[in-house]
Amino acid sequence: MNSIAKYFKFSELKTNYRTEIIAGLTTYISMVYIMFVNPNVLGASGMDKGAVFTATGLASAFGCMLMGILANYPIASAPALGINAFFAYSVSIGMKVPWQTALAGVFVASLIFILITALKLRERIINAIPSDLKYAISAGIGLFIAFLGLHDGGIIVPNKDTLVGLGSFSVGSTWLTVFGLIITVVLMLRNVPGAIFVGMVGTTILGLITGLIHMPSSVVSEIPSIKPTFLTALTHVKDINTLQLWVVVLTFLLVTFFDTAGTLVALATQAGFMQNNKMPRVGRALASDSTAMLFGSLVGTSPVGAFVESSAGIAVGGRSGFTAVTTGIFFILGLFFSPLLVVVTTQVTAPALIIVGVLMAQSTRQIAWDKFEIAVPAFLIMIGMPLTYSISDGIALGFIMYPIAMIAAKRGKEVHPLMYALFFVFIGFMAILNK
Protein backbone atom coordinates (compact mmCIF):
# COMPACT_ATOMS: atom_id res chain seq x y z
CA MET A 1 0.00 0.00 0.00
CA ASN A 2 2.85 2.37 0.83
CA SER A 3 4.43 1.74 -2.58
CA ILE A 4 1.14 2.70 -4.28
CA ALA A 5 0.90 5.88 -2.22
CA LYS A 6 4.51 6.67 -3.09
CA TYR A 7 3.93 6.05 -6.81
CA PHE A 8 0.95 8.43 -6.88
CA LYS A 9 2.85 10.95 -4.71
CA PHE A 10 0.25 11.14 -1.95
CA SER A 11 2.59 12.99 0.44
CA GLU A 12 3.68 15.54 -2.14
CA LEU A 13 0.09 16.16 -3.24
CA LYS A 14 -1.20 16.15 0.37
CA THR A 15 -3.83 13.48 -0.20
CA ASN A 16 -4.71 9.98 1.03
CA TYR A 17 -6.58 6.81 0.04
CA ARG A 18 -9.89 7.88 1.57
CA THR A 19 -9.90 11.24 -0.20
CA GLU A 20 -8.84 9.74 -3.52
CA ILE A 21 -11.45 6.95 -3.43
CA ILE A 22 -14.25 9.37 -2.53
CA ALA A 23 -13.07 11.68 -5.31
CA GLY A 24 -13.00 8.79 -7.79
CA LEU A 25 -16.54 7.76 -6.84
CA THR A 26 -17.74 11.36 -7.09
CA THR A 27 -16.28 11.68 -10.58
CA TYR A 28 -17.86 8.37 -11.59
CA ILE A 29 -21.31 9.42 -10.34
CA SER A 30 -20.92 12.70 -12.23
CA MET A 31 -20.13 11.08 -15.57
CA VAL A 32 -21.69 7.60 -15.46
CA TYR A 33 -24.56 8.94 -17.54
CA ILE A 34 -22.32 8.47 -20.58
CA MET A 35 -22.75 4.70 -20.17
CA PHE A 36 -26.42 5.14 -21.06
CA VAL A 37 -26.35 8.22 -23.28
CA ASN A 38 -23.61 6.98 -25.62
CA PRO A 39 -25.47 3.79 -26.70
CA ASN A 40 -28.57 5.88 -27.46
CA VAL A 41 -26.63 8.40 -29.53
CA LEU A 42 -24.48 5.90 -31.43
CA GLY A 43 -27.43 3.55 -31.73
CA ALA A 44 -28.98 6.08 -34.11
CA SER A 45 -26.24 5.16 -36.60
CA GLY A 46 -27.26 1.50 -36.53
CA MET A 47 -24.72 0.29 -33.98
CA ASP A 48 -25.72 -2.42 -31.51
CA LYS A 49 -26.61 -0.61 -28.26
CA GLY A 50 -25.50 -3.48 -26.04
CA ALA A 51 -22.11 -3.63 -27.70
CA VAL A 52 -21.74 0.16 -27.47
CA PHE A 53 -22.65 -0.01 -23.77
CA THR A 54 -19.82 -2.48 -23.15
CA ALA A 55 -17.40 -0.60 -25.41
CA THR A 56 -18.19 2.64 -23.57
CA GLY A 57 -17.47 1.07 -20.19
CA LEU A 58 -14.25 -0.60 -21.34
CA ALA A 59 -12.93 2.49 -23.15
CA SER A 60 -13.77 4.71 -20.16
CA ALA A 61 -12.11 2.35 -17.70
CA PHE A 62 -9.02 2.06 -19.90
CA GLY A 63 -8.78 5.83 -20.43
CA CYS A 64 -9.20 6.60 -16.72
CA MET A 65 -6.61 4.07 -15.61
CA LEU A 66 -4.11 5.11 -18.26
CA MET A 67 -4.46 8.78 -17.35
CA GLY A 68 -4.06 7.95 -13.67
CA ILE A 69 -1.10 5.61 -14.00
CA LEU A 70 0.80 7.31 -16.83
CA ALA A 71 0.14 11.00 -16.16
CA ASN A 72 -0.85 10.87 -12.46
CA TYR A 73 -3.76 13.24 -12.93
CA PRO A 74 -7.22 12.94 -11.27
CA ILE A 75 -8.79 13.33 -14.70
CA ALA A 76 -11.22 10.76 -16.07
CA SER A 77 -11.78 9.93 -19.74
CA ALA A 78 -14.76 8.57 -21.66
CA PRO A 79 -16.40 8.82 -25.11
CA ALA A 80 -17.14 12.51 -25.40
CA LEU A 81 -20.59 13.98 -25.91
CA GLY A 82 -20.77 16.12 -29.02
CA ILE A 83 -18.27 14.20 -31.08
CA ASN A 84 -20.46 11.10 -30.69
CA ALA A 85 -23.33 13.16 -32.10
CA PHE A 86 -21.09 14.12 -35.02
CA PHE A 87 -20.33 10.41 -35.51
CA ALA A 88 -23.98 9.36 -35.50
CA TYR A 89 -25.95 12.26 -36.94
CA SER A 90 -23.50 14.05 -39.22
CA VAL A 91 -21.34 11.22 -40.55
CA SER A 92 -23.55 8.12 -40.46
CA ILE A 93 -26.98 9.68 -40.98
CA GLY A 94 -26.16 12.97 -42.73
CA MET A 95 -23.35 11.78 -45.00
CA LYS A 96 -24.76 8.24 -45.22
CA VAL A 97 -21.41 6.77 -44.19
CA PRO A 98 -21.77 3.26 -42.67
CA TRP A 99 -20.96 3.25 -38.98
CA GLN A 100 -18.24 0.68 -39.63
CA THR A 101 -16.41 3.16 -41.86
CA ALA A 102 -16.98 5.99 -39.38
CA LEU A 103 -15.42 3.82 -36.69
CA ALA A 104 -12.43 3.29 -38.98
CA GLY A 105 -12.21 7.07 -39.26
CA VAL A 106 -11.92 7.31 -35.48
CA PHE A 107 -9.18 4.68 -35.59
CA VAL A 108 -7.17 6.57 -38.22
CA ALA A 109 -7.67 9.88 -36.38
CA SER A 110 -6.37 8.28 -33.18
CA LEU A 111 -3.25 7.03 -34.97
CA ILE A 112 -2.59 10.56 -36.24
CA PHE A 113 -3.26 11.89 -32.73
CA ILE A 114 -0.66 9.50 -31.29
CA LEU A 115 1.83 10.44 -34.01
CA ILE A 116 1.58 14.20 -33.51
CA THR A 117 1.81 13.69 -29.75
CA ALA A 118 4.94 11.57 -30.13
CA LEU A 119 6.48 14.13 -32.49
CA LYS A 120 5.58 16.99 -30.09
CA LEU A 121 3.61 18.78 -32.79
CA ARG A 122 0.66 19.53 -30.52
CA GLU A 123 1.88 23.05 -29.68
CA ARG A 124 2.18 23.97 -33.36
CA ILE A 125 -1.31 22.73 -34.15
CA ILE A 126 -2.84 24.42 -31.12
CA ASN A 127 -1.13 27.69 -32.04
CA ALA A 128 -2.18 27.47 -35.69
CA ILE A 129 -5.92 27.66 -35.03
CA PRO A 130 -6.93 30.89 -33.23
CA SER A 131 -8.22 30.43 -29.70
CA ASP A 132 -11.42 32.27 -30.65
CA LEU A 133 -12.26 29.59 -33.21
CA LYS A 134 -11.46 26.83 -30.72
CA TYR A 135 -13.94 28.36 -28.28
CA ALA A 136 -16.47 28.70 -31.10
CA ILE A 137 -16.12 25.01 -31.99
CA SER A 138 -16.75 24.00 -28.38
CA ALA A 139 -19.74 26.34 -28.10
CA GLY A 140 -21.11 25.26 -31.47
CA ILE A 141 -21.02 21.61 -30.48
CA GLY A 142 -22.80 22.61 -27.29
CA LEU A 143 -25.58 24.29 -29.28
CA PHE A 144 -25.80 21.28 -31.58
CA ILE A 145 -26.17 18.65 -28.86
CA ALA A 146 -28.58 20.89 -26.93
CA PHE A 147 -30.68 21.08 -30.10
CA LEU A 148 -30.56 17.28 -30.32
CA GLY A 149 -31.67 17.03 -26.70
CA LEU A 150 -34.56 19.44 -27.23
CA HIS A 151 -35.63 17.46 -30.30
CA ASP A 152 -35.24 14.01 -28.70
CA GLY A 153 -37.23 15.17 -25.68
CA GLY A 154 -40.11 16.46 -27.83
CA ILE A 155 -39.67 20.09 -26.78
CA ILE A 156 -38.74 21.12 -30.33
CA VAL A 157 -40.33 19.41 -33.34
CA PRO A 158 -40.19 19.83 -37.14
CA ASN A 159 -42.65 22.32 -38.61
CA LYS A 160 -43.31 22.60 -42.36
CA ASP A 161 -44.15 26.29 -42.10
CA THR A 162 -41.41 27.54 -39.75
CA LEU A 163 -38.87 24.67 -40.09
CA VAL A 164 -39.01 24.04 -36.33
CA GLY A 165 -41.55 24.76 -33.64
CA LEU A 166 -42.52 24.05 -30.04
CA GLY A 167 -43.58 20.49 -29.32
CA SER A 168 -46.91 19.37 -27.91
CA PHE A 169 -47.30 19.67 -24.15
CA SER A 170 -50.31 17.40 -24.19
CA VAL A 171 -47.89 14.49 -24.52
CA GLY A 172 -46.66 12.92 -21.29
CA SER A 173 -43.19 12.13 -22.62
CA THR A 174 -42.55 15.83 -23.31
CA TRP A 175 -43.39 16.68 -19.70
CA LEU A 176 -41.03 13.93 -18.59
CA THR A 177 -38.21 15.73 -20.43
CA VAL A 178 -39.24 19.07 -18.89
CA PHE A 179 -39.23 17.50 -15.42
CA GLY A 180 -35.78 16.03 -16.02
CA LEU A 181 -34.43 19.37 -17.20
CA ILE A 182 -35.85 21.30 -14.25
CA ILE A 183 -34.68 18.82 -11.61
CA THR A 184 -31.18 18.67 -13.15
CA VAL A 185 -30.89 22.46 -13.26
CA VAL A 186 -31.97 22.71 -9.61
CA LEU A 187 -29.50 20.01 -8.54
CA MET A 188 -26.65 21.69 -10.41
CA LEU A 189 -27.46 25.08 -8.89
CA ARG A 190 -27.44 23.40 -5.48
CA ASN A 191 -23.98 21.96 -6.30
CA VAL A 192 -25.16 18.39 -5.79
CA PRO A 193 -22.39 15.95 -6.86
CA GLY A 194 -23.44 13.96 -9.91
CA ALA A 195 -26.36 16.30 -10.62
CA ILE A 196 -26.76 15.07 -14.20
CA PHE A 197 -26.79 11.43 -13.14
CA VAL A 198 -29.13 12.08 -10.21
CA GLY A 199 -31.43 14.00 -12.56
CA MET A 200 -31.50 11.04 -14.95
CA VAL A 201 -32.35 8.69 -12.08
CA GLY A 202 -35.14 10.98 -10.90
CA THR A 203 -36.57 11.26 -14.43
CA THR A 204 -36.42 7.49 -14.84
CA ILE A 205 -38.24 6.89 -11.54
CA LEU A 206 -41.01 9.33 -12.53
CA GLY A 207 -41.28 7.63 -15.91
CA LEU A 208 -41.64 4.22 -14.26
CA ILE A 209 -44.25 5.50 -11.80
CA THR A 210 -46.34 7.15 -14.55
CA GLY A 211 -45.98 4.22 -16.95
CA LEU A 212 -44.17 6.32 -19.55
CA ILE A 213 -41.19 4.00 -19.10
CA HIS A 214 -41.52 0.24 -18.78
CA MET A 215 -39.86 -1.64 -15.93
CA PRO A 216 -36.93 -3.88 -17.00
CA SER A 217 -37.15 -7.59 -16.28
CA SER A 218 -33.89 -7.42 -14.30
CA VAL A 219 -31.24 -4.98 -13.15
CA VAL A 220 -28.06 -7.05 -13.18
CA SER A 221 -27.06 -9.36 -16.03
CA GLU A 222 -24.14 -10.66 -18.00
CA ILE A 223 -22.08 -8.07 -19.78
CA PRO A 224 -23.45 -7.56 -23.34
CA SER A 225 -21.28 -9.03 -26.08
CA ILE A 226 -18.87 -6.67 -27.75
CA LYS A 227 -18.62 -8.90 -30.82
CA PRO A 228 -20.80 -6.67 -33.11
CA THR A 229 -18.27 -3.82 -32.87
CA PHE A 230 -14.99 -5.41 -31.79
CA LEU A 231 -12.12 -4.69 -34.24
CA THR A 232 -14.60 -3.52 -36.88
CA ALA A 233 -12.53 -0.36 -37.29
CA LEU A 234 -9.52 -2.35 -38.46
CA THR A 235 -11.38 -4.21 -41.19
CA HIS A 236 -12.86 -1.02 -42.66
CA VAL A 237 -9.79 1.25 -42.80
CA LYS A 238 -9.59 0.51 -46.53
CA ASP A 239 -12.97 2.22 -46.98
CA ILE A 240 -11.48 5.62 -46.13
CA ASN A 241 -10.67 6.42 -49.74
CA THR A 242 -12.41 9.72 -50.52
CA LEU A 243 -11.75 13.38 -49.69
CA GLN A 244 -15.07 13.47 -47.87
CA LEU A 245 -13.99 10.70 -45.49
CA TRP A 246 -10.57 12.24 -44.94
CA VAL A 247 -12.33 15.47 -43.92
CA VAL A 248 -14.32 13.37 -41.45
CA VAL A 249 -11.05 11.98 -40.08
CA LEU A 250 -9.66 15.52 -39.83
CA THR A 251 -12.77 16.65 -37.98
CA PHE A 252 -12.53 13.76 -35.52
CA LEU A 253 -8.90 14.73 -34.94
CA LEU A 254 -9.42 18.47 -34.60
CA VAL A 255 -12.50 18.36 -32.38
CA THR A 256 -11.10 15.67 -30.08
CA PHE A 257 -7.67 17.28 -29.95
CA PHE A 258 -8.82 20.76 -29.03
CA ASP A 259 -11.63 19.60 -26.76
CA THR A 260 -9.16 17.43 -24.86
CA ALA A 261 -6.50 20.13 -24.70
CA GLY A 262 -8.98 22.70 -23.42
CA THR A 263 -10.45 20.34 -20.83
CA LEU A 264 -7.03 19.26 -19.55
CA VAL A 265 -5.87 22.84 -19.09
CA ALA A 266 -9.12 23.85 -17.38
CA LEU A 267 -8.99 20.92 -14.94
CA ALA A 268 -5.27 21.37 -14.25
CA THR A 269 -5.97 25.02 -13.43
CA GLN A 270 -8.78 24.03 -11.06
CA ALA A 271 -6.53 21.54 -9.25
CA GLY A 272 -3.66 24.02 -9.03
CA PHE A 273 -1.28 22.04 -11.22
CA MET A 274 -0.40 24.81 -13.69
CA GLN A 275 3.16 26.11 -13.47
CA ASN A 276 4.14 29.30 -15.33
CA ASN A 277 0.97 28.96 -17.43
CA LYS A 278 2.07 25.48 -18.51
CA MET A 279 0.64 22.09 -17.61
CA PRO A 280 3.22 19.63 -16.27
CA ARG A 281 3.25 16.20 -17.95
CA VAL A 282 0.90 17.46 -20.65
CA GLY A 283 2.61 15.13 -23.12
CA ARG A 284 1.74 12.12 -20.98
CA ALA A 285 -1.81 13.34 -20.53
CA LEU A 286 -2.32 13.78 -24.28
CA ALA A 287 -0.65 10.42 -24.91
CA SER A 288 -3.08 8.82 -22.47
CA ASP A 289 -6.13 10.31 -24.18
CA SER A 290 -4.92 9.51 -27.69
CA THR A 291 -4.18 5.91 -26.71
CA ALA A 292 -7.60 5.63 -25.06
CA MET A 293 -9.15 6.97 -28.26
CA LEU A 294 -7.34 4.24 -30.23
CA PHE A 295 -8.51 1.57 -27.80
CA GLY A 296 -12.07 2.92 -27.94
CA SER A 297 -12.17 2.70 -31.74
CA LEU A 298 -11.06 -0.94 -31.59
CA VAL A 299 -13.69 -1.99 -29.08
CA GLY A 300 -16.37 0.05 -30.84
CA THR A 301 -17.08 3.59 -29.68
CA SER A 302 -16.66 7.22 -30.76
CA PRO A 303 -13.60 9.29 -29.71
CA VAL A 304 -12.56 9.16 -26.07
CA GLY A 305 -11.44 12.34 -24.34
CA ALA A 306 -10.94 13.98 -20.95
CA PHE A 307 -14.25 14.63 -19.18
CA VAL A 308 -14.95 18.02 -17.64
CA GLU A 309 -17.04 16.22 -14.99
CA SER A 310 -13.69 15.27 -13.44
CA SER A 311 -13.97 18.69 -11.81
CA ALA A 312 -16.44 17.14 -9.35
CA GLY A 313 -13.80 14.73 -8.04
CA ILE A 314 -11.16 17.46 -7.96
CA ALA A 315 -13.59 19.66 -6.01
CA VAL A 316 -13.82 17.06 -3.20
CA GLY A 317 -10.04 16.73 -2.93
CA GLY A 318 -8.86 14.38 -5.69
CA ARG A 319 -5.30 15.29 -6.58
CA SER A 320 -3.52 12.16 -7.84
CA GLY A 321 -3.99 9.60 -10.57
CA PHE A 322 -5.43 7.21 -7.99
CA THR A 323 -8.67 9.19 -8.29
CA ALA A 324 -8.85 8.37 -12.02
CA VAL A 325 -7.91 4.72 -11.39
CA THR A 326 -10.75 4.46 -8.87
CA THR A 327 -13.17 5.92 -11.41
CA GLY A 328 -11.97 3.34 -13.93
CA ILE A 329 -12.66 0.49 -11.51
CA PHE A 330 -16.23 1.74 -11.02
CA PHE A 331 -16.71 1.77 -14.80
CA ILE A 332 -15.77 -1.91 -14.90
CA LEU A 333 -18.28 -2.71 -12.15
CA GLY A 334 -20.95 -0.73 -14.02
CA LEU A 335 -20.79 -3.10 -16.98
CA PHE A 336 -23.01 -5.58 -15.13
CA PHE A 337 -26.02 -3.22 -15.20
CA SER A 338 -26.83 -3.24 -18.94
CA PRO A 339 -30.58 -4.08 -18.45
CA LEU A 340 -31.02 -0.49 -17.28
CA LEU A 341 -30.55 0.54 -20.92
CA VAL A 342 -34.23 -0.13 -21.63
CA VAL A 343 -35.34 2.42 -19.03
CA VAL A 344 -32.93 5.10 -20.22
CA THR A 345 -35.14 6.50 -22.97
CA THR A 346 -34.51 9.63 -25.04
CA GLN A 347 -36.64 11.58 -22.56
CA VAL A 348 -34.19 10.56 -19.82
CA THR A 349 -31.05 11.43 -21.75
CA ALA A 350 -32.39 14.60 -23.41
CA PRO A 351 -31.94 16.79 -20.29
CA ALA A 352 -28.32 15.60 -20.01
CA LEU A 353 -27.66 16.64 -23.61
CA ILE A 354 -29.24 20.05 -23.02
CA ILE A 355 -27.29 20.68 -19.80
CA VAL A 356 -23.96 19.63 -21.30
CA GLY A 357 -24.78 21.90 -24.25
CA VAL A 358 -25.20 24.80 -21.83
CA LEU A 359 -21.86 24.03 -20.18
CA MET A 360 -20.06 23.88 -23.52
CA ALA A 361 -21.69 27.09 -24.75
CA GLN A 362 -20.14 28.99 -21.84
CA SER A 363 -16.91 29.18 -23.83
CA THR A 364 -18.50 31.95 -25.93
CA ARG A 365 -17.43 34.45 -23.27
CA GLN A 366 -13.82 33.92 -24.38
CA ILE A 367 -14.49 35.02 -27.97
CA ALA A 368 -13.48 38.56 -29.03
CA TRP A 369 -16.93 39.61 -30.23
CA ASP A 370 -15.83 43.23 -30.51
CA LYS A 371 -13.57 42.32 -33.45
CA PHE A 372 -15.80 41.76 -36.47
CA GLU A 373 -13.21 39.74 -38.38
CA ILE A 374 -13.23 37.27 -35.48
CA ALA A 375 -16.93 37.48 -34.65
CA VAL A 376 -18.13 36.51 -38.14
CA PRO A 377 -16.27 33.17 -38.53
CA ALA A 378 -16.86 32.31 -34.87
CA PHE A 379 -20.57 32.98 -35.24
CA LEU A 380 -20.77 30.94 -38.46
CA ILE A 381 -19.17 27.98 -36.72
CA MET A 382 -21.57 28.18 -33.79
CA ILE A 383 -24.80 28.80 -35.67
CA GLY A 384 -23.80 26.60 -38.59
CA MET A 385 -23.61 23.41 -36.55
CA PRO A 386 -27.22 23.25 -35.31
CA LEU A 387 -28.75 24.84 -38.42
CA THR A 388 -27.00 22.50 -40.88
CA TYR A 389 -27.36 19.59 -38.45
CA SER A 390 -23.65 19.01 -38.99
CA ILE A 391 -20.62 19.81 -36.86
CA SER A 392 -18.28 19.52 -39.83
CA ASP A 393 -20.37 21.91 -41.94
CA GLY A 394 -20.28 24.48 -39.14
CA ILE A 395 -16.51 24.21 -38.85
CA ALA A 396 -16.17 24.45 -42.62
CA LEU A 397 -18.22 27.68 -42.77
CA GLY A 398 -16.09 29.35 -40.11
CA PHE A 399 -12.73 28.13 -41.40
CA ILE A 400 -13.55 29.32 -44.91
CA MET A 401 -14.65 32.76 -43.72
CA TYR A 402 -11.78 33.29 -41.27
CA PRO A 403 -8.90 34.00 -43.72
CA ILE A 404 -11.23 36.06 -45.93
CA ALA A 405 -12.29 38.24 -43.00
CA MET A 406 -8.74 38.59 -41.72
CA ILE A 407 -7.43 39.66 -45.15
CA ALA A 408 -10.28 42.17 -45.48
CA ALA A 409 -9.34 43.57 -42.07
CA LYS A 410 -5.72 43.87 -43.29
CA ARG A 411 -4.63 41.21 -40.80
CA GLY A 412 -3.87 38.48 -43.34
CA LYS A 413 -0.27 38.17 -42.15
CA GLU A 414 -1.55 37.08 -38.74
CA VAL A 415 -3.22 33.99 -40.23
CA HIS A 416 -1.16 30.84 -39.79
CA PRO A 417 -0.27 29.03 -43.06
CA LEU A 418 -2.16 25.98 -41.79
CA MET A 419 -5.35 28.04 -41.69
CA TYR A 420 -4.89 28.94 -45.36
CA ALA A 421 -4.37 25.24 -46.10
CA LEU A 422 -7.54 24.37 -44.19
CA PHE A 423 -9.37 27.05 -46.19
CA PHE A 424 -8.76 25.08 -49.40
CA VAL A 425 -9.46 21.75 -47.69
CA PHE A 426 -12.89 22.91 -46.56
CA ILE A 427 -13.66 24.55 -49.92
CA GLY A 428 -13.15 21.12 -51.48
CA PHE A 429 -15.10 19.52 -48.65
CA MET A 430 -18.13 21.77 -49.25
CA ALA A 431 -17.93 21.28 -53.02
CA ILE A 432 -17.95 17.50 -52.71
CA LEU A 433 -20.66 17.32 -50.05
CA ASN A 434 -23.04 19.74 -51.73
CA LYS A 435 -22.99 18.73 -55.40
Cα separation, 189 vs 183, in Å, equals: 10
Over residues 78-126, the pLDDT tens digits come to 998 778 988 998 889 888 899 999 999 999 999 998 998 888 776 666 6
Query: In this structure, is residue 369 part of a structural domain?
Result: no
Are the C-beta atoms of residues 103 and 226 closer than 8 Å to each other?
no
Q: Is the pLDDT of residue 278 over 70?
A: no
Nearest one of 212, 219, 239, 273 to 106, comparing CA atoms: 239
Cα separation, 325 vs 50, in Å, equals: 24
> Is the pLDDT higher at 199 or at 407?
407
Query: In this structure, is residue 49 part of a structural domain?
Result: yes
Of 19-33, 38-52, 102-116, 254-268, give the lowest mean pLDDT range.
254-268
- Provide the residue count of the chain: 435
Q: Is the pLDDT of residue 373 over 90?
A: yes
Q: Above pLDDT 70, what percent of the chain?
A: 95
Cα separation, 97 vs 113, in Å, equals: 22
Q: What is the pLDDT of residue 408?
A: 96
Query: In this structure, is residue 143 part of a structural domain?
Result: yes
Q: Above pLDDT 90, what percent of the chain?
A: 36
Phi, psi (degrees; rounded to nearest 5) at 223: -70, 130
Over residues 378-432, the pLDDT tens digits come to 999 999 988 887 777 888 899 999 999 999 999 999 999 988 988 987 887 677 5
Tell me the pLDDT band of 130, cut-offs 50, 70 and 90. confident
Q: What is the pLDDT of residue 122?
A: 67
Query: In this structure, is residue 299 part of a structural domain?
Result: yes
Tell me the pLDDT band of 131, cut-offs 50, 70 and 90. confident
Query: In this structure, is residue 80 part of a structural domain?
Result: yes
Q: In this structure, how many other beta carbons lie within 10 angstroms of the beta carbon of residue 96?
A: 7
Q: Is the pLDDT of residue 332 over 70?
A: yes
Q: In this structure, how many other beta carbons lie within 10 angstroms of the beta carbon of residue 157?
A: 13
Average pLDDT taken over every residue of the chain: 86
Tell me the pLDDT band of 294, cut-offs 50, 70 and 90. very high
Nearest one of 362, 352, 271 to 310, comparing CA atoms: 271
The residue-averaged pLDDT of 191-205 equals 82
Q: What is the pLDDT of residue 352?
A: 81
Cα separation, 400 vs 380, in Å, equals: 10
Tell me the pLDDT band of 295, cut-offs 50, 70 and 90. very high
Are the C-beta atoms of residues 331 and 60 closer than 8 Å to each other?
yes
Of 10-14, 256-260, 302-306, give the lowest mean pLDDT range.
256-260
The Cβ-side half-sphere exposure at 44, using a 13 Å CA radius, reads 21
Q: What is the pLDDT of residue 123?
A: 61
Residue 118 structural domain = 2-364
Are the C-beta atoms of residues 147 and 386 closer than 8 Å to each other?
yes
Q: What is the 3-state secondary structure (H, E, C) of 340-362?
A: HHHHCCHHHHHHHHHHHHHHHHH
Query: In this structure, is residue 251 part of a structural domain?
Result: yes
Tell me the pLDDT band of 222, cut-offs 50, 70 and 90. confident
Q: What is the pLDDT of residue 68?
A: 95
Q: What is the pLDDT of residue 134?
A: 80
The residue-averaged pLDDT of 128-147 equals 82
Q: Is the pLDDT of residue 434 over 70?
A: no
Query: In this structure, is residue 376 part of a structural domain?
Result: no
Cα separation, 417 vs 29, in Å, equals: 44
> Is the pLDDT higher at 312 or at 109?
109
Are the C-beta atoms of residues 183 and 19 closer than 8 Å to each other?
no
Q: Is the pLDDT of residue 43 over 70?
A: yes
Q: What is the pLDDT of residue 158?
A: 87
Q: What is the pLDDT of residue 126?
A: 61
Q: Is the dihedral of CA 185, 186, 191, 194 positive or negative?
A: negative
Query: In this structure, is residue 425 part of a structural domain?
Result: no
Q: In this structure, how many other beta carbons lie within 10 angstroms of the beta carbon of residue 189?
A: 9
User: Mutual orientation of helices 391-408 and 372-388 as an angle, nearest 10°?
Assistant: 160
Q: What is the pLDDT of residue 254?
A: 75
Q: What is the 3-state secondary structure (H, E, C) of the chain?
A: CHHHHHHCCHHHHCCCHHHHHHHHHHHHHHHCCHHHHHHHHHHCCCCCHHHHHHHHHHHHHHHHHHHHHHHCCCCCEEECCCHHHHHHHHHHHHCCCCHHHHHHHHHHHHHHHHHHHHCCCHHHHHHHCCHHHHHHHHHHHHHHHHHHHHHHCCCEEEECCCEEEECCCCCHHHHHHHHHHHHHHHHHHCCCCCHHHHHHHHHHHHHHHHCCCCCCCCCCCCCCCCCCCCCHHHHCHHHCCCHHHHHHHHHHHHHHHHHHHHHHHHHHHHHCCCECCECCCHHHHHHHHHHHHHHHHHHCCCCEEECCCHHHHHHCCCCCHHHHHHHHHHHHHHHHHHHHHHHCCHHHHHHHHHHHHHHHHHHHHHCCCCCHHHHHHHHHHHHHHHHHCCHHHHHHHHHHHHHHHHHHCCCHHHCCHHHHHHHHHHHHHHHHHCC
CA 168 and chain centroid, separation: 30
The total of structural domains in the chain comes to 1
Q: Is the pLDDT of residue 199 over 70?
A: yes
The residue-averaged pLDDT of 53-60 equals 95
Q: What is the pLDDT of residue 344?
A: 73
> Is the pLDDT higher at 211 or at 309?
211
Tell me the pLDDT band of 247, cut-offs 50, 70 and 90. confident
CA 58 and chain centroid, separation: 16
Nearest one of 36, 335, 30 to 204, comparing CA atoms: 36
Q: Is the pLDDT of residue 8 over 70?
A: yes
CA 254 and chain centroid, separation: 13
